Structure 1
Amino acid sequence: MKKPSNVHYLPTYRTDEVIDAELVSDEEYARLTSQKAKAFERYRGYQRDVVTVVRWSRWAATHDRTTTFAKAILRNLLYVPAGAGVLLRRVWEAKTNSRYERMMRRAEAAGDYEALGEWEERAEHAKQRRHARTMDWLTAPWQLLKAAFASIVGFILVLLMLGVFLSLATDDWSRALAPIEGVLSAIEWTVWLIAVVWGPLVLVGPWIGLLYLWHLGRRTDVAALGWLRSSTQDEVGVMVTADAIVRALQHLNIPAMTRAFKGGWLPRFDLTPTREGQGAFKGYRAIFDLPLGVTPDMVADKGNVLATNLHRNAVEVWPSDYGKEKGGKPGFVNLYVADAGVMDKPTPEYPLLHTGIGDVFTGVPVGITQRGDVVKFVLFGGNFVFGGQPGQGKSNAARVVMAGAALDPLCELRVHVFAGNGDFDAYAQRLTRYHKGATPEHALLATEHLRDLFDEVERRENLLAELGAKKLTRPLADQHPDLRPIVAMFSECHELFGDKDCGEEAAELAIRVVKRGRKTGVITGYDTQSSRTDAIPSQLVENVGINGCFAVKTWRSNDGFLGDGSFAAGIRATELRFNVDRGTMVATGVSDELFEIVRTFFIEVNDDTGWDAAADIIDRAMAQLAPGTATSGDRPLPQLEASRDLLADLDQVLDIDPVPAGEVIGALRTLAPTWRPYKDLTVPKLVAALAEHGIKVPATKNKYPVDPITVREAMARRSAGPDAE
């Protein structure tokens, strides 16, 4: 049978199987198809909603904040059983001898037998007291009953006596029992008050107990809850308790310390972890002892491991030998742990950038510590040395020091830069001497300058003696312009001390100036990239008051700038990261601490445009100078001698008798100490030079005496000219 054109077969489905079909009209077919399409779209919408809910639920459940929040809830819930454990442990220790036994094991592990005997004695006394208390409790019930009966009877008799007195006073014997009635009323009122308050107390009491247990658990650093701490707590809070330090020490892998911990030893804290610092620059300081066989330098050698155990970078953890500090104790470690990220925070603006004056007697600001304290260099009596790898901040540190000195109205400044850079060009108008360049002529000028400084030290010593002063003071410098402090900076000094002709003499003069100039106000500073002896003398490093070492690679360089034994004592610039910790130095002699980690202020300079923030500082320094303080142009600059006349010099040093050539050379060097040819002069060279002038020097027992008559005759022939007979 043929299907009409205006009807359709509409199948009926059971799952995926067609079980029947019926004929429907076009209108009915369209209506039913539209309903199915709408139902399908509604189903797809529900599916999308479910997927969205699942996706967002998964995101919310795995988000860091959700994890932190869940950890916080679980952590606070677990504080209660942790607090209960703390309370039970305290009760157990109070009722038993476990505390004394622990202390005895610790003393035995440390080999402190005196303390062991003391704790054994204390433990025995505790047992006796506990036994006495137990015996007292056996008789306590009967004693309490007797005391209670006697007290009640006595109290009733007192009330009756009061009643009798009251009756006699009022002539009313009915009031004899009034005191007893009053006490009974008070008891009744108290029972009523307790009945009213008891209900809330019963309800609140357990919560107060839970709160107390939560507080105990929160205050106690429970190792089992470590995984529930947030990352912020791990970074900043790990140093809050001594337990964190003990755990860090337990995993240093120092055999003697590991054995001590296994034997029950625990460190004694002379200073429990204490918060230090200002503003954003904070950390923790702790001082603790070490077991037998372990030294502070062993802990310092494990600085990287200790820092990792405390969740810090190596430059944020500084253990040092407390026994080498003023008032310290041998065998103790002074540990400072900065907050995570402190080293990455920018230093504040230079304090004297826009206003203020400097004072070389009380100190000029140079930088800040990890605690945020401003570090001042007391330049008077404290010469300084900066060392470290190239590009780590030595020149900027020198610029900061010299800027502070420039702002002292009484201070005179001098600078030698043994390179061609313009680090101190902006300071030029404030400098009485300013020389640049790595030439032999500059080395000769600097050596002559050091000789002048040493002569100046001697002059000032004599003048101070005449004034009856033991050392220069600011009032004296103000009254006597010729006693004003002098700060002489020798930048890149390895070029000076490494000079083949002047280096040895310059080193000797520099050491002598540092040793003797301390009380006279003659101050010198040096910066260099190398700690070799020919770059900076070891005696110079040892005798300056302030040593600053930027990032270095080896312990030899570290000790070369900070002094022998510094690395072993935990004073280590090797922990500073190259380029990362640029502008940060390990400094000694700037505080009462064994050393400080100093982040220097930065005086900005633009290498492209030549702009230098120091120019404004120097302009302000020039405007506030005290009368009589020398600046650029006030002192004539020394000039190197272009030539000397050997015959004229011989005529000056010789008298009438012949003098051995060796003595003549010494006289010539005394006459012209800066003339390099005289420094290199030897007897054969002198004999040859005189031969060129027609003077023959006889050997005469190898003394080669120079006859002044022959010298003067040669001078006369030279004066007469080549045509003279």
Structure 2
Amino acid sequence: MSIETTPSSTPDPEWERIVGGYLNAPGEAPVEKQTTSVDLMGDTPLTPAWTKTRTGWKSRAEVGRVNTVRGFRKWLRRQATEHGHASQIGRGIRRTVLWVQGTEGAQVLAARYEVQQTQRDYKAAKWAHDRRLMPGKEKEKRRREMEGAFADSASAMSKYRSAQRDARMRRAVRGVAALTPIAGVEGASLQLLGTPGGLAATAATLATFALIGRRTTAGELYTDRDAKIGDGDRMTDDMVNRVYRDARVIAADDTLRLSTPCTLTADGKAWQVVFQLPSGTPAKKALGAREGIANGFGVSVQQVHQTRGDREDTIHLRVSLKLPFSTKPTRGPLLDAERVNLWQPIRMGVNLRGEEVITSWVERSGLFGGEPGSGKSAAANDLLLAAALDPTVRMYLADGKAGADITPFEPIATMYDTDGDPDKLLDILQYMWDVEIKERRALAKEHGSRKLTEAMAAVDPRVCLAVLLVDEWSSYGAAADQKTRQEMERLLRLIVQQGRALGIISLAATQKPDSDSVPTGIRDILSIRWAMRCLTPQASDTILGQGYASAGHNAQDILKSQRGVGIYMDGEGAEPELVRGDYYDDDEVAAILGRAYSLRQEAGTLPLGPLDRLRAAGEDGEILATLFGLYPEGVEMLPTARVTEGLAAAGHPVTADRLAVLVPRTDEEKRRQEVSGSKVSVYPLTAVRRAVLDRYDIGL
């Protein structure tokens, strides 16, 4: 039986992807493959190419400066413990003295004890011989015992003196062995280098004693068992394994298999590593242990970021040196963009690695959620402002909280509601379903396709995208009766479902993510999710999907100071990631929308204003539009004679009777009013507005 194997020369796409991430800095052109002797399979450390660049040196120098300060503080704290250098030197000196003394001391003590014992025996035998009256034979026996004890005592004394001489000799040899190097180094250094040399030799001697005494009495060493990234220590393989063991992710006898070395990112702002979990350990267990892992690294939870790899046993770990997204946002790219093509992917912000998060909104829809003040409206602006700079995009905007977030978009919006009026939202949805969807279906059928594409838009100007934003649906639902609410839900669901292929991008935003704010049937079909800071894990799961909070993607962990930051999920199967949206203040929004207005004016795609729609309604509409323009700013009524003269001058000769039919007045409005000292018939501006609204449903 033969076994097929992959030749060693066959490229490994997965390995090339991992290595490419370390060879290239974010935003830089790929580094050419190097033909060096470096073993890319992991036997030798893999050095990122960016470290040899000017940016790399600068980044490492800054990191080195910060870590030097942290290391010095940590060294000071260490001196008060048994691992301090003074304690180590003291233990080293004591252990050296004990080594010089050696074990011969015990032998001398044993010989001395034997001498003392034999002398006591001799004295006892002599006393028994000298002090007692006894027969001759007994006396002779005592004499022989006394003589034997004396001989034993003399032999013991001889052994004792021999042991003393041997001990002194060996201690002298060990003492010479211990002191000769010290004396030699000190003397040579003083002779060759003078006082500086003597000081250097003394430092070397103390360092040697510290090395000898590095272990405590209990046998413990000062190693990276206590090292933490938060204290300025570098990430090591041992540290990563220790942290995941302490966090109960892996067992005490398990080991993580590192796919890449522990290295700083190209910008020097974080440590990162890719590793594989032991067999049988699910990635969900590691993703859900952020608190324990952060504790082990000595950082906050917000500084630990883990994502699943392409396999269930692979984890990409990033530990930031500082709290992410705590600095001022950078300048938004739309400020320098002349125009945008929304058919192409657009930037929605930056992730932890400083990389742009690019998203294609074609055939997509989105849900943005988070507590008030979390930056939800600013995040939604990233899409709206980009859509505004595409002069072909139609915009339908509704704000249920009646705020000012979409007010600046009114001049370019096809339809909008900034009053939180359910009837106005229903009109917008009804128009989109009856007019927009219908026209787009006809266009797709005309082009022989099931959906509208950028290729069609390039040859047919009628093909374009549309954006529908519904902010705070719950406010609309609370203000509407049951029949209106059900109809709004039905239309919105149809628009989201069927408008996706017809170029309609639907976006819902809410401060309270639950089934009341966005109906479940609608929320489940919104593909792109962005969860800003939430008050509970359940609220986070409502936006991202059930189970994401327990898997480490919990928007409750986002700090209040991290405004505009949220967990972003693009709906294409990738793991959610922490992203900060681009921020534009009111002046910047006004500048962008001013450019958008000019673009649409040049392209002829500005939505029809109330007067334009009135003029398009026929001859009577043109007369009413001209009549409305006769009123100067601040003037609320005009004499009938002046009205008829102004209309005649504009090419609309209208009799008083026809004018009375076009603009019906109440009995109170028909009363003569005093103008320039005389009472005349007048037409109030309110009567003109009421006539236009009643007849054409157009508000002026």
- State the TM-score, normalizing by the size of structure 2: 0.53
Q: Is the 8 A contact 2:469 2:506 kept in 1?
A: yes
Q: Deviations over 1:397-418 (max 9, x none)?
A: 1122211111113212221111
Aligned residues between the structures: 413
Q: Deviations over 1:641-698 (max 9, x none)?
A: xxxxxxxxxxxxxxxxxxxxxxxxxxxxxxxxxxxxxxxxxxxxxxxxxxxxxxxxxx
Q: Is the 8 A contact 1:384 1:547 kept in 2?
A: yes
**Structure 2 counterpart of 1:439, from 405, 416, 421:** 421
**Structure 1 counterpart of 2:392, from 385, 398, 410:** 410
Q: Deviations over 1:530-554 (max 9, x none)?
A: 2221211233333223110011122
Name 2:580's counterpart in structure 1: 599
**Structure 2 counterpart of 1:504, from 480, 483, 486:** 486
**Structure 1 counterpart of 2:441, from 443, 447, 461:** 461
Aligned partner of residue 519 in structure 1, secondary structure: helix
- State the distance in 2 between where 1:340 and 1:66 align: 16
- State the distance in 2 between where 1:411 and 1:343 align: 32
- State the distance in 2 between where 1:472 and 1:236 align: 55
Q: Is the 8 A contact 1:443 1:495 kept in 2?
A: no
2:603 counterpart of 1:627: yes
Name 1:428's counterpart in structure 2: 410
Q: Is the 8 A contact 1:419 1:438 kept in 2?
A: yes
2:369 counterpart of 1:387: yes
Q: CA deviation at 1:446?
A: 4.2
- State the distance in 2 between where 1:361 and 1:636 align: 29
Aligned partner of residue 526 in structure 1, secondary structure: strand
The AA in structure 1 aligned to 2:238 is D
Name 1:313's counterpart in structure 2: 300
Aligned partner of residue 428 in structure 1, secondary structure: helix
Name 1:80's counterpart in structure 2: none
Q: Is the 8 A contact 1:432 1:634 kept in 2?
A: no
Q: CA deviation at 1:236?
A: 6.0
Q: CA deviation at 1:72?
A: 13
Aligned partner of residue 484 in structure 1, secondary structure: coil
Structure 1 unaligned spans of 5+:
1-62, 78-209, 211-216, 323-327, 606-611, 639-725
Aligned partner of residue 539 in structure 2, secondary structure: helix
Name 2:471's counterpart in structure 1: 491
Q: Please give the residue correspondences for 1:180-195 in structure 2 after superposition, counting only pairs within 5 Å.
A: none
- State the distance in 2 between where 1:65 and 1:271 align: 26
The AA in structure 1 aligned to 2:242 is R
Q: Is the 8 A contact 2:406 2:418 kept in 1?
A: no
- State the distance in 1 between where 2:484 and 2:221 align: 64
The AA in structure 1 aligned to 2:374 is Q
Q: CA deviation at 1:623?
A: 2.3
Name 2:155's counterpart in structure 1: none
Q: Please give the residue correspondences for 1:530-679 in structure 2 after superposition, counting only pairs within 5 Å.
A: 530-577=512-559, 579-589=560-570, 593-605=574-586, 612-625=587-600, 627-631=603-607, 633=609
Q: Is the 8 A contact 2:367 2:507 kept in 1?
A: yes
- State the distance in 2 between where 1:621 and 1:337 align: 41
Q: Deviations over 1:330-351 (max 9, x none)?
A: 2433333233233312221111
Q: Is the 8 A contact 1:485 1:522 kept in 2?
A: yes
Name 1:265's counterpart in structure 2: 254
**Structure 2 counterpart of 1:301, from 288, 303, 308:** 288
Q: Is the 8 A contact 1:366 1:375 kept in 2?
A: yes
Q: 1:366 to 1:64 in 2, by over 3 A?
A: closer
**Structure 2 counterpart of 1:480, from 460, 467, 489:** 460
- State the distance in 2 between where 1:570 and 1:223 align: 35
The AA in structure 2 aligned to 1:245 is V
- State the distance in 2 between where 1:251 and 1:630 align: 62
Name 1:524's counterpart in structure 2: 506
Q: Deviations over 1:600-648 (max 9, x none)?
A: 111113xxxxxx321111111222336353435299889xxxxxxxxxx
**% identity of equivalent residues:** 22
Q: Is the 8 A contact 2:259 2:274 kept in 1?
A: yes
Structure 2 unaligned spans of 5+:
1-67, 86-203, 205-210, 212-219, 615-700
Aligned partner of residue 462 in structure 2, secondary structure: helix
**Structure 2 counterpart of 1:249, from 244, 251, 254:** 244
Q: Deviations over 1:495-517 (max 9, x none)?
A: 23454333333233323322222
Q: CA deviation at 1:361?
A: 1.8
Q: Deviations over 1:151-188 (max 9, x none)?
A: xxxxxxxxxxxxxxxxxxxxxxxxxxxxxxxxxxxxxx
Q: Is the 8 A contact 1:413 1:631 kept in 2?
A: no
Q: Cα RMSD (Å) of the superposition?
A: 3.9
Q: Is the 8 A contact 1:436 1:442 kept in 2?
A: no
Q: Deviations over 1:33-63 (max 9, x none)?
A: xxxxxxxxxxxxxxxxxxxxxxxxxxxxxx9
Q: CA deviation at 1:463?
A: 2.1
- State the distance in 1 between where 2:332 and 2:377 align: 16
The AA in structure 1 aligned to 2:551 is A
Q: Is the 8 A contact 2:369 2:543 kept in 1?
A: yes
| Structure 1 residue runs of 4 or more that deviate by more than 6 Å after TM superposition | 63-66, 69-75, 634-638
Q: CA deviation at 1:352?
A: 1.3
- State the distance in 2 between where 1:616 and 1:276 align: 36
- State the distance in 2 between where 1:223 and 1:358 align: 61
The AA in structure 1 aligned to 2:240 is I
Aligned partner of residue 342 in structure 1, secondary structure: coil
Q: CA deviation at 1:564?
A: 2.4
Q: Is the 8 A contact 1:384 1:526 kept in 2?
A: yes
- State the distance in 2 between where 1:591 and 1:337 align: 25
- State the distance in 1 between where 2:69 and 2:568 align: 41
The AA in structure 1 aligned to 2:466 is I
